[in-house]
Amino acid sequence: MSQILSKLLVTTGAFVLMMSAAGAQEGDTNIAIPTAAIGAGLALIGGGLGIGRIGGSAVEAMARQPEMAGQIQTAMIIAAALVEGATFFALIVCLIV
């Protein structure tokens, strides 16, 4: 179920970004602003879900192997920073459009 939901969110986000870019090219700002806002919202929701899954999996892994907690925490922070950077980039692209 989560794979279907994630594919649906990615497809919807890509569609919204393409719609906002197409609307901006034609000079029609009536469609560009709402679709950019929807794209920004989807980007933030996706980033939040991604970081939540990273954190949950890391805590579960630390509970299973407490001696590896330091390495797991380091990997978790790096992965969360990468997801946050991609989310921030998507947000800026949506706001620029």
What CATH number is associated with residue 91?
Answer: 1.20.20.10
Residues 8-19: what's their mean pLDDT? 68
For residue range 16-27, list pLDDT tens digits in order. Answer: 666 655 555 555
- The pLDDT value recorded for residue 75 is 95
- Residues of the domain holding 41: 2-96
Structural domain count, the chain: 1
Global pTM? Answer: 0.65
Compute CA distances 74 → 33, 61, 70, 87, whole Å.
39, 13, 6, 20
Identify the H or E element spanning 35: helix 29-64
In this prediction, residue 95 has a pLDDT band, given cuts at 50, 70 and 90, of confident
In this prediction, residue 40 has a pLDDT band, given cuts at 50, 70 and 90, of confident
